[in-house]
Structure 1
Amino acid sequence: MSSATGRRLGRGSVTILWAAALLLIGGAGLESLTLALAFGEVQQGSSALLQATDRLGAHPEQWTPDRISAAGRLNRTAGPLLERGCARLQSNPIPRAAGGLPVAGADTTAVLDLCDAGIAASRSLDDFLRVARAYQAVERDPAPPGARFIKLLSETGAPLRDADARLRPVLARLRQDLARPLAPPLRAKVAEAAGRLADAEQRAALGLGMSEQLGPALGSSRPTTYLVLLENPGEMRPSGGLIGSVGTITFANGAPSQLEIRPYDDYNRLLKQRFPIPSPLDRLMSFYNNALEIGDAGWDPDFPTTARLAEAMYKSATGLDVDGTIAFDPYAISALLAVTGPVSVPTFGTFSAADVYAQLNYIINVQSAYPHEGKQALPVVGREVLKTVLAQPIAAWPRLLDVFQQQARGRHLQIEVHDAALAKSLAAGDVDGSIAATPGDYLMVVDANVGATKGDLYANKSMSVRSEVYADGLSRHLVTIDYSLPAFNDDLARALNPGDGSYRDYLRFYLPEHAAVAGVKAALDSQPSVAAPVNVTQEHGRAVVGVFFILPPQHSLRLQLAYEVPLQVGRSYSLFIQKQAGSPGLPTDLLVSYPGGRAERHLALDRDEEVGYRW
């Protein structure tokens, strides 16, 4: 965070400032000499700031006492130089005179804003040094990990708040500069600086949010209990996968004090009320007592909606209330193991980042006589992974937090809480798994495997989107999704895909509310096929187009949806493509034609993507 900011302002802004000096110094005399001295001080200060940030390092494992001390000394040199140099620039009549010119004025303002950004970076580095010292102190603390984590959150709040307050306004000014006509080299540097500062400010804001709200969420003031949903995207459902296991985790003073996870079907016979089966799931699958089961509570891709339903079902079965819901999948577990290393679990073996998903599927569906029996491995493995995560040294905590953030962005981790302030922060950070409320064009493709197989582990999927945007505000789209299913030639594949192994899927397209559907086509092995009737509804302020299909092994299927969307007339266009929770990614080719232009992009779609064009 600090290193990136310093590097930006150390090299990029110095080049621009000196280039601007050549343009601004129009005559000899004291003003020109003062201006030259100012640029010299800014150059020296930026160089010292760069050395300071490099010396500190970007990761806590680099934050040794010697490095913290050296970075502090360098920044104490950098700060005064930057402040004196920028003060000379701001008071010098030559830049002020250039500021009155129509074109040079915008460039001069941008140069001065870059200078101010350097000062903000130096002062925020002081804040990050305080954070580094807090890490050092907590690492030496003999208290339990949970208590140390709560202490760290408490002591880093003030410096992170200060860093966020310093970085946010200079970032806003750089963005304003980018909205004005600038010389091309200067524009490139300002854009680069704004990008780096945006990343630093976002990290400071995220850290501040955690320091203010994560403590209470982890039981700093009272024990907190969350419903836990372990989803299996091998049997994809709209919320991220079949909810194979359900339980609770209780936090007290920053650490888990209790973890209970059971197979979802343990709860079915305990339900005190009947929960209706959503349409058309009631026509596609059969259920115990003709009522919705908690394992299928994830029929809605909007995770807060799924969480509320799962909590109601859990309370019906147990009579217990919770403080929120946490859902995660094996991809998230694998990412954690990539940081902690392999975990050995008595009776069940060793699990690593590379094989945890495959091993769990084998234990549950092949090694055990019955899946319910195999699912008993899940709470045991989960507890061992959790113990290993908690045993990590303080220096590894930021990497673990990075994993949590990355998995949340990929929607492999979703969290819904009842605390209003924390819920707002989670929504702002895209951690709550909600359907995005975006003003422009929108698309989300949602699979629901209704065949009781693990076909999503084997099906190959890809998408192409062809969009034509017109000056009158209309956009037309053709979305093509290709599926192919291989033959199941080994015992594991056949066990995970029983019966004839066909992939039975209810596919939904989420579109802007006022989208008009032109039609849906299907082709099996390149031959036109009759798809099931198309179901068009409205959910969460979106138009939803649903279609059911069956894909046998060794066959391929292509589905195409044509539709158009009325948009606000203007000279720009944006398309937000939201990924489905649990999906490892959906390779997508995007082609957009707009007035006077055409653009192609390939997206992995392993996280939400937004593209925009102007004309």
Structure 2
Amino acid sequence: MLAWVGIRGALAYSELRSAETSARAAMDTISDPAQTAPHIAEFASHAASAHDLTSDPVWRLAEAAPWAGPQLRAVSTIAAAADGVAREALVPLSDVVSAFSVDAFRPVDGRIDTAVFREIAGPARTGADAVADAAASVSALDDAPLLGPVREAVEEVATLLDTGASATDALARAAHLLPAMLGADGERSYLIAFQNNAEWRSLGGIVGAMAVVRTADGAIEMTAQGSSSDFSRFDESVLPLEPELDRLFEARPGRFVQNVTQIPDFTIGGPLAREMWQRQTGQQVDGVIATDPVALSYILAATGPVDLPTGDVLTSDNAVSLLLNDVYLRYEQPRDQDAFFAAAAAAVFDRLATGAADPAALITALGKAGDERRLLLWSADADDQAVLAGTTLAGELPVSTADDAAFGVYLNDGTGSKMDYYVTADTSLTWESCTLDARGRNAAPITLQVTVTNTAPADAATSLPTYITGGGGFGVPAGISRTVAYLYLPTDAALTSAVRSDRAGFGGGTHDGRQVLAFGSDLAPGESITATVTVIPPGEGASSATASVTPTIDANRPTSVVATCGAP
């Protein structure tokens, strides 16, 4: 029996390794269904062979052995999961998706054929559920008795399945949402709020330029543009805010359109923006989309350079600097700046609407922007919003689980300026020690450290325009950057210490059951401040710690920081 199991085990191992290679190749070509299909077919063949090799009666009998049994059971579970994913998810989905070219996603005469998404929706949801079930079955394995190589294989497969579950779930949600969003069931309108990362708000930056797009039967057109300068201050919040939010943010998000992204939850900010737009213009939109110039730079990599009426050429390389800094150096008057932003938005929209963007590159760009929370969406339609819930697009507060301790690091400008073009923020998470229980959880303290630095030139007060420095407004001298940071701790975590490098204290409060520490700092060019916070994770600990961080102008600084065990 040992020889039989040994031979079949070796063959199964070889098939699973081949399946893993095919799976990774499929993921690398996921944006082009025609290229992905052959890799999925190969994966299915290897997975089926591995399952056959590890599911006969002799193998099942050997799984009861005291030492080898857990190793064999882990291998057979992986093989069964891979085979199930192939048969129930990937192959059926591939059969449907491969019938379409990515060019089907390209607008023709300003219209996208929504039938493509309706065809994909059913198989995508079935596939996503099957991958999620397979991921759960592998994650449920007890890895305590496993040998090192087997444990590593289980971890690799679990990671691969988790990634696949996320990808297929995203496809299923998109296929469900897009037809309605594109007006397949009736006209829709969306307010696009462009966040300016040169003046930080928790979700990215102040809302500056705005536009409304209308969709009808797959056709898309821009119907209106606006600027935050068009809006006056509302006397009171346009929508009721919870008292705890009033205490943290002093009702500013509900009174100023520039501040609707100050609360780090777009399910609150989206409705505020919609209500303000309606009060200002009389138009009620069906949803709100928030994005920023860094996301635009990703999109420009798909569209190619865009000519602007000013004679400028907007590219993926210069979009951030041109839109977040150069425009203020060039134009002193806000109305001239607004005109430039409006022209840029219209030019990029026209490029997209005419189908000039490479579809595969555009899908990649939008996916990257969504992963980094630089693309947010709120829908007034309750069914659509339910589909968005729990995704990065929803822009919700981070949620701690039994396995993950979730922090939030949210940055806001207090200067009334565009100085955050020159301010950096670095976030790290570390575990005090690495002692795991049988379920891979660590109950050791976790330390969050945030360092904010003003990198502006030493003579910023005189060398930079008043519109960038703030000119001494809000009681902040020109050249100084004032930052207000909100540190959200994991739900039910126990705070053990909170220290600032300037030895000042913290303010704060609570939000949705989370303790929030707030601190402000005024930094001259070259100065930094560091806040260090240590907590004990809730319950029996966690296997990872994550921190969601405000997206800034620097695409190389992560918007999600992860630490596992003792390693940052």
- SS of the residue aligned with 2:140? helix
Q: 2:120 aligns with which of 156, 163, 171?
A: 156
Q: 2:2 aligns with which of 8, 25, 45?
A: 25
Answer yes or no: is the 8 Å Cα contact 1:237–1:298 preserved in 2.
yes
- SS in structure 2 at match of 1:147: coil
- Measure how far apart 1:241 and its partner are: 0.9
* Match status 1:576 vs 2:546: yes
SS in 1 for 2:264: coil
Q: Shift of the alpha carbon at 1:231?
A: 1.0
Q: Aligned residue for 2:529?
A: 558
* Preserved contact between residue 520 and residue 560 of structure 1 (Cα < 8 Å): yes
Which residue pairs with 1:299 in the alignment? Answer: 262
Matched, 1:508 2:486: yes
Out of 128, 131, 134, the residue aligned to residue 170 of structure 1 is: 134
Q: 2:111 aligns with which of 129, 146, 157?
A: 146
Q: What is the CA-CA distance between 1:167 and the residue it aligns to? A: 3.0
**CA 1:264–1:563 in 2, change beyond 3 Å: closer, same or farther?**
same
Amino acid at match of 2:68: A
Q: TM-score, normalised by structure 2?
A: 0.81
Q: Return the letter of the residue paired with 2:153.
A: K
Give the equivalent residue in structure 2 for 1:486. 456
Which segments of 5 or more consecutive residues in structure 1 lack a partner in the other structure?
Answer: 1-23, 27-31, 587-603
Q: Please provide the CA RMSD for this pair.
A: 4.2
Q: 1:362 to 1:43 in 2, by over 3 A?
A: closer
Change (3 A) 1:461 1:60: closer
Structure 1 match to 2:242: none
Distance (whole Å) between structure 2 residues aligned to residue 293 and residue 349 of structure 1: 32
Contact 1:213 1:421 in 2 (8 A): no
Look up the SS of the partner of 1:425 in the other structure: helix
* 1:51-450 mapped onto 2 (5 Å cutoff): 58-59=29-30, 61=32, 63=34, 83=48, 86-87=51-52, 89-93=54-58, 95-120=59-84, 122-123=86-87, 124-136=89-101, 139=104, 144=109, 146-148=111-113, 150-177=114-141, 179=143, 181-268=145-232, 292-361=255-324, 364-392=327-355, 396-439=358-401, 441-450=405-414
Q: Would the aligned equivalents of 2:196 and 2:204 in 1 still touch at CA under 8 Å?
A: yes
Question: Counterpart in 2 of 1:537?
Answer: 509
* Residue 352 of structure 1, CA deviation: 0.4
Gaps of 5+ in 2: 240-244, 436-441, 472-477
What percent of counterpart residues are identical?
A: 19
How much does 1:127 deviate?
Answer: 2.7
Residue identity matched to 1:169: D
SS in 1 for 2:184: coil
Secondary structure, counterpart of 1:90 in structure 2: coil
Contact 1:410 1:608 in 2 (8 A): no
What per-residue deviation string (whole Å, max 9, x for no partner) do you get for residues 11-31 of structure 1?
A: xxxxxxxxxxxxx534xxxxx
Once structures 1 and 2 are overlaid, which stretch shifts more, 473-482 or 158-167? 473-482
Structure 1 residue 463, shift from structure 2 partner:
4.4
Which amino acid is the alignment partner of residue 609 of structure 1?
Answer: V
Number of the residue aligned with 2:439 = none
Describe the shift of the 1:41–1:199 C-alpha distance in structure 2 as closer, same or farther (beyond 3 A).
closer
**Pair 492,408 (structure 1): closer, same or farther in 2 beyond 3 Å:** farther
Q: Would the alpha carbon gap of residues 384 and 335 (structure 1) be closer, same or farther in structure 2, given more than 3 Å must change?
A: same
Asked if the contact 1:161/1:205 (under 8 Å) is kept, the reply is yes
Give the Cα–Cα distance (whole angstroms) in 2 for the partners of residues 465 and 111 of structure 1.
34
CA shift digits 1:66-113 (9 cap, x unpaired): x96x779x75xx8678657744652343x1331221222222222323
Using a 3 Å threshold, how does the CA distance of structure 1 residues 127 and 489 change in structure 2: closer, same or farther?
farther
- Structure 2 distance, partners of 1:198, 1:206, is 12
The aligned residue for residue 607 of structure 1 is 560
Alignment check: 8 A CA contact 2:544 2:564 kept: yes
- Cα offset, 1:281, TM superposition: 6.8
CA distance in 2, matches of 1:452, 1:371: 14
Describe the shift of the 1:138–1:413 C-alpha distance in structure 2 as closer, same or farther (beyond 3 A): closer
Residues 428 and 298 (structure 1), Cα distance of their counterparts in 2 relative to 1, 3 Å cut: closer
Q: What letter corresponds to residue 90 of structure 1 in structure 2? A: S
Q: 2:68 & 2:337 partners in 1: Cα distance?
A: 71
Distance 1:316 1:116 in 2: 57
Cα distance, 1:433–1:113 mapped onto 2, change above 3 Å: same
Q: 2:31 & 2:262 partners in 1: Cα distance?
A: 41
CA, structure 1 residues 397+421, in 2 after alignment: closer, same or farther (shift >3 Å)? farther
- Give the Cα–Cα distance (whole angstroms) in 2 for the partners of residues 280 and 170 of structure 1: 42
